[in-house]
Structure 1
Amino acid sequence: MRHTLSVLLFLGWFHAAFGQSSPAAQIETLNKGIQTVYDAIVAEDGSVDYAELHRRPELQAHLQAFIDFIRDFDPDTLSDTTEKIALLSNTYNVFTLAGVNRAWPVPSVRKIRPMFGFFTKKEWRVGGRKVSLNNVESDWLRPMDVRIHFIINCASVSCPRLDKRVLTAENVETVMEEATLRFLNNKDKNVFDETRREWHLSKIFDWYQKDWGKQPDVVAFVHKYRPDLKGWEPQRIRYLEYDWALNGSVSGETN
């Protein structure tokens, strides 16, 4: 009860002071709050301590403050693309964390709702619009930069990891490049079999084929981040099974 009262008082004070600031200042403040959450629950390898998040109402309050802001803020009012990518990627990641926390404890996001309902149900709001996680990804993020696939986190083992850094207009380009390079060099996420001349890529490349184009375009994209593979091209591209187990454990011990 004391924790709940403290959180309510914090949110009341926060919103009263918050409303006097410019959108840019508000976003900066919110980012600091989300960074506090990441510092507490995200390990260096990207695994997430959801149990710790669930134990600490003050961390949940930072997520809720962000959710309350983006509910009424229209990201399309941002003219800078990097600023927009950063805000919407943070939005996706915050919604994901909050969604897992609401259902806690749970072994997989696919157990929260049947099939892919965790991603398709319109249970969030952005700029007054009712949206799903898929809406945030496909309506806003995907048209801006293909590398967003490596900075948004679906709370699952096969997903690109959640970076410990909150995204900002200043760091999002660097983080996207590093995340893409890291993902394509991760032997658990992508396998390059030179003997059989086959690439076994993450299912992400299958689900979002339109974002990369035809096979020569996929090959060119991979070669950019894996120059060691430029000496050969695959005769066939296959896709790995996706592991939907949560990228953290019920006990609080990370995978």
Structure 2
Amino acid sequence: MRVFLSVLMLVLISAFAPVGAYAAPKADLWPDWQAHDPDSMQKIDHSGWQAVLDRFVAQPEPGVTTFDYKAALDDRANGIEAVAGYVGKMVTVPVSDLNRNQQLAYWINLYNALTVKVVLDHYPVASIRDIDISPGLFSLGLFSSGPWDKKLITVEGRTLSLNDIEHRILRPIWIDPRIHYAVNCASVGCPALAPEAYDADLLDDQLDQAARDFINHPRAIHSDGDGGFVISSLYDWYREDFGERDAQLVAHLLTYAGPELTRQLDSIGRFDVSDDVYDWSLNDDRP
């Protein structure tokens, strides 16, 4: 009876606690993935992923992109099969033999392609969080529902989930907040799915552009009309990556802010956040 009540309590907490009450996964390095060859000249071909992006990604407004999932299912050869083919090719890459830039581009592109593949495999859905395939019936947390903890691929003999790629590899190895603007969670509130595959030779420029595109869109930060700001929940979930103090977060935002946002941030005496928001609706071209 006591066990049953404990389980029931977990279910009730999971069902009714607000999403924002939970922190996102912490960066937790898996040391094996630090292996790399700084002298490697090997280049990974991401043209298969670029062909998918060229065909199915649209940009309805600056800083926002959508993906036409239905078209990618209807045009199977160029859509879902092309995505699966690219992912299948990437999992055969000996990642530890690559240099750091090649690895970073590899993991970001693979993460984004794998996310698109998961959505296509379960489409139609209103939100990626409806794809509830993560293990652990009573697991709690922001990402306890959705696909993020499901082991989806095997690379160099190790099974990986989307969370593994982001939080065990990308974040702790590169320690670069711009990664949050590059990996896409197939949601309206998320930084946009880049219309260009990440290229090891262009990474700094591409990551800077991804940061500018998101930060200067209202879903990242906008005035609440009363002297404060409404910010993306991204900055709450991963606050340690952007700077734990308000001044550090503001400095990060100002690094990529355009003239209007710069004016707003420079004109305040104190950075007052009145709310954080996130739209989990699918980034669908045909919502």
TM-score by length of 2: 0.72
Quote the offset at 1:139 in angstroms.
1.4
| Percent of aligned pairs sharing the same letter | 30
Counterpart for residue 95 of structure 1? 114
User: Whole-Å Cα distance in 2 between the matches of residues 233 and 75 of structure 1?
Assistant: 47
Counterpart for residue 230 of structure 2? 200
Structure 1 position 120 matched with structure 2 position 149: yes
User: Whole-Å Cα distance in 2 between the matches of residues 244 and 123 of structure 1?
Assistant: 21
Counterpart for residue 147 of structure 1? 178
Q: Are the counterparts in 2 of residues 70 and 125 from structure 1 also a CA contact under 8 Å?
A: no
User: Whole-Å Cα distance in 1 between the matches of residues 148 and 202 of structure 2?
Assistant: 26
Structure 1 unaligned residues grouped into runs of 5+? 1-21
Counterpart for residue 33 of structure 1? 48
User: Whole-Å Cα distance in 2 between the matches of residues 204 and 40 of structure 1?
Assistant: 29
Q: Are the counterparts in 2 of residues 71 and 125 from structure 1 also a CA contact under 8 Å?
A: yes
Quote the offset at 1:65 in angstroms.
2.5
Quote the offset at 1:248 in angstroms.
0.6
Structure 2 unaligned residues grouped into runs of 5+? 1-39, 134-143
Quote the offset at 1:74 in angstroms.
4.1
Structure 1 position 182 matched with structure 2 position 213: yes
Residue identity matched to 2:241: D
Quote the offset at 1:238 in angstroms.
4.2
The DSSP-based 3-state class of the residue aligned with 2:240 is: helix
Quote the offset at 1:72 in angstroms.
3.4
Q: Are the counterparts in 2 of residues 107 and 245 from structure 1 also a CA contact under 8 Å?
A: yes
Quote the offset at 1:73 in angstroms.
2.8
Q: Compare 160-169 and 220-229 and name the one that shifted more.
A: 220-229
Q: Are the counterparts in 2 of residues 200 and 240 from structure 1 also a CA contact under 8 Å?
A: yes
Residue identity matched to 2:196: R
User: Whole-Å Cα distance in 2 between the matches of residues 76 and 209 of structure 1?
Assistant: 30
Residue identity matched to 2:248: D
User: Whole-Å Cα distance in 2 between the matches of residues 84 and 235 of structure 1?
Assistant: 36
Q: Compare 117-126 and 146-155 and name the one that shifted more.
A: 117-126
The DSSP-based 3-state class of the residue aligned with 2:66 is: coil
Residue identity matched to 2:281: A
Q: Are the counterparts in 2 of residues 41 and 49 from structure 1 also a CA contact under 8 Å?
A: yes
Counterpart for residue 82 of structure 2? 62
User: Whole-Å Cα distance in 2 between the matches of residues 103 and 91 of structure 1?
Assistant: 18
Counterpart for residue 79 of structure 1? 99
Structure 1 position 44 matched with structure 2 position 63: no
The DSSP-based 3-state class of the residue aligned with 1:63 is: helix
Quote the offset at 1:34 in angstroms.
1.0
Structure 1 position 241 matched with structure 2 position 277: yes
Q: Cα gap change, 1:106/1:23 in structure 2, threshold over 3 Å: closer, same or farther?
A: farther
Q: Cα gap change, 1:223/1:32 in structure 2, threshold over 3 Å: closer, same or farther?
A: same
Task: Give me the CA root mean square deviation.
Answer: 2.2
Structure 1 position 173 matched with structure 2 position 204: yes
Quote the offset at 1:245 in angstroms.
1.0
